Amino acid sequence: MDYAFEAEGLVKRFGKTTALAGVDLAARSGTVLGVLGPNGAGKTTAIRILATLLRPDEGRAEVGGLDVVKRAAEVRRLIGLTGQYASVDEDLTARENLVLFGRLLDMGRATAGARADELLGRFGLADAASRRVSTYSGGMRRRLDLAAGMIGDPRIVFLDEPTTGLDPGKREDLWRTIRAMAAEGRTVLLTTQYLEEAEALADDITVIDHGRVIAHGTPAELKRIVGGLTIAVRSADPERAGVAAKVLRAVSGREPTATGGGTLTVPVDAAGALTEITQALDAASVEVAELSLRLPSLDEVFFALTGRHDEREESAA
Amino acid sequence: MTTDVREQTRPSIVNEPKRWRLARHSLALTGRELTKVRRNPGIFLDALFMPVMFLLLFVYLFGGAVAGSTGEYLRYLFPGIMVMTTVMAGLLATGMSINRDIKKGVFDRFRSMPIGRSAPLIGSVVADSARYVVTLVTLFAVGYLMGFRVETDLPSALAACGVAVALGFSLSWISVFVGVLIKEEAIVQTVAFLGIFPLAFGTSMVAPVETMPGWLRAWVDVNPVTHGVEAVRGLLVGGPVAGPVTATLLWSAGFLVVLVPLSVWAYQRRV
């Protein structure tokens, strides 16, 4: 297969702490790989190895077909990095930052200026271009940081928790930007602690925890691993809801839950249960306003894989 | 198999020749440093005003008592103040700015770019040189107004500046190292200040070593800054030169050899 980057058996220790205990990561060209895990899972370490900022203790990694240790200088020409903390200079203006990065990528003064203006416009920062970054809000800083990673028009982009600490509105904003970057055919590696973020952006998801890969697949595949399909039914006539509950109980052998708005949900073992339930409801002459087969949320996936609940409430602070 | 994407590497927007890349990158980063100094002159001005204040205070308050006349004392004190200036600039300005860069993640950005590893460092050294030049020119101007004259020649005076700057730069790595070890910037600054007192004042800067109690003499004799003071004094107003200059440069090299790898090691460990 055609991989933009590929890592095998990455191990990295810091003193006595093992940050990575043998991690494999790979993304096909032009896709978004989401690396999902709680704080301390090793996400940042993995991205830093791929971005040539750290050397792995064991294992190997290639970016664009180039070994990240032996050919680090060439790898740096292919990548754009956006760190967990805004990696721009706060004492400079946004434009000065971008021009500097352009100059460091061997652009002439005029080219670097034009490229900076183009990106500032695209990332909605044109009005704030000549303001010092220290006056920027969190969301603006993240956008500038993304723009900084895009200066060299890289084919491979590493985004380390690009939305951590942003409020939900700003996060949606940034998601659109990231989608646009991916739509241009770039390969994106995105680390996140937000399950919904991985689901919203990634083609494939690798879940890591304590320096190990605990699952890999498409968002849908991951949900299937955990099983736990749920059927949701809403009766058109609220008075018939009791009958609907009886039917669900009979077919699934489990107690249905009322989730509000007259909707009943019940876990089932296989998708085939949907047909059974449809037929049984029909036989009991319950007219159905809504009937759906739902996959579990990624939150549930994570819990099923690690036995722990997502800890972002505590760790994002 | 992974694809070799080198061919697609942004051919359209790279339009500078391959020659002089390190020099160009370093210069671009020097520009950044100087812009920063212009925007945040605080620490730089601290490192500039303090030595000038000390020079004025010591000469006019103690000069008569210590050396018989203020003019005579100025001749003794000025070289020491010059060294103190570069040591302070190094410990406070350079160290702190490198430290802040590392913490803010800007260094990560630089390190992930296809530029020489040494470019950011060279950039900050060149920018510092500009700062040192401004500081030393100011100091010489104040000294001149007070009546200080270089008694040797121009090359010696320039060499004196070079020795002082070399020492200041090598000592700046103390605050870089401390800064990497300690996260809190305020604490780093305190540590740098605490370091300044024994290093910059525990020397023959204000008074001859012979007048000091034994325990202090012991420290002053081993303090590398003392060699720097003696070297600069020799180069500006006459006296032994070869010995102190060699000692200063060896100490400076020693500090760099030990502290630079140590800082890099501590930095990589922390990340």
Is A281 found in the same domain as A141?
A: no
* Best A29, A79, A90, A106 residue to mutate vs chain B (most B CBs within 10 Å): A106
Is A259 found in the same domain as A192?
A: no
CATH of the domain at A281: 3.30.70
Average pLDDT, integer, range A67-82: 91
* Best B1, B6, B8, B13 residue to mutate vs chain A (most A CBs within 10 Å): B13
Among A178, A197, A220, the domain boundary falls at A220
Is A254 found in the same domain as A210?
A: no
Domain count, chain A: 2
**In DSSP terms, which residues pair with A268 in a beta bridge?**
A229
- Residue A317 inside a domain? The answer is no
Is A50 found in the same domain as A94?
A: yes
Is A60 found in the same domain as A9?
A: yes
Least confidently predicted of A68-82, A101-115, B6-20: B6-20
Residues B178-198, buried b or exposed e (16+ Cβ, 10 A)?
bbbbeeeeeebbebbeebbee
Residues in chain A: 317
B103: CB partners within 8 A, 6+ apart: B179, B183, B185
- Contact (CB, 8 A) for A189 and A30: no
A44 vs A83: CA distance, rounded Å: 9
A26 vs A30: CA distance, rounded Å: 12
Average pLDDT, integer, range A20-47: 92
- Residue A313 inside a domain? The answer is no
Pure H helices in chain A: 43-50, 72-78, 94-104, 109-122, 138-150, 168-183, 195-201, 219-226, 241-252, 273-283, 298-306, 312-315
The answer to whether residue A186 scores a pLDDT higher than 90 is: yes
Domain ranges of chain B: 25-270
How far does the CA of residue B152 sit from the closest CA of chain A (Å)?
42
Full residue range of the structural domain in which residue A41 is found? 3-220
Determine the pLDDT at residue A308: 62
Is A266 found in the same domain as A123?
A: no
Of B3, B15, B114, the CB nearest to A73: B114
| Chain-chain contact of A104 with B110 (C-beta, under 8 angstroms) | yes
pLDDT grade for B270, boundaries at 50, 70 and 90: low
Is A206 found in the same domain as A117?
A: yes
How far does the CA of residue A82 sit from the closest CA of chain B (Å)?
8
Determine the pLDDT at residue A313: 42
Is A107 found in the same domain as A11?
A: yes
CATH of the domain at A212: 3.40.50.300
Determine the pLDDT at residue A240: 84
| Tens-place pLDDT, residues B153-208 | 999 999 999 999 999 888 888 887 887 787 777 887 788 778 788 888 888 888 88
B81 vs A255: CA distance, rounded Å: 85
Least confidently predicted of A175-184, A198-207, B106-115, B238-247: B106-115
A170 at B interface, C-beta within 8 A:
no
| Chain-chain contact of B15 with A107 (C-beta, under 8 angstroms) | yes
The answer to whether residue A183 scores a pLDDT higher than 80 is: yes
| Chain-chain contact of B4 with A79 (C-beta, under 8 angstroms) | no
| Tens-place pLDDT, residues B76-128 | 999 999 999 888 888 877 767 777 777 777 888 888 888 887 788 778 778 88
- Residue A54's nearest CA partner among A88, A10, A15 is A10
| Tens-place pLDDT, residues A266-311 | 877 777 788 888 888 888 888 888 888 876 666 666 667 776 655 4
A248 vs A276: CA distance, rounded Å: 10
pLDDT grade for B8, boundaries at 50, 70 and 90: very low
- Residue A203 inside a domain? The answer is yes
Average pLDDT, integer, range B32-44: 84
Average pLDDT, integer, range A121-132: 92
High-pLDDT (> 70) share of chain A, %: 90
- Residue A308 inside a domain? The answer is no
Is A21 found in the same domain as A126?
A: yes
Q: Is the pTM of this model over 0.95?
A: no
The answer to whether residue A28 scores a pLDDT higher than 50 is: yes
Is A170 found in the same domain as A42?
A: yes
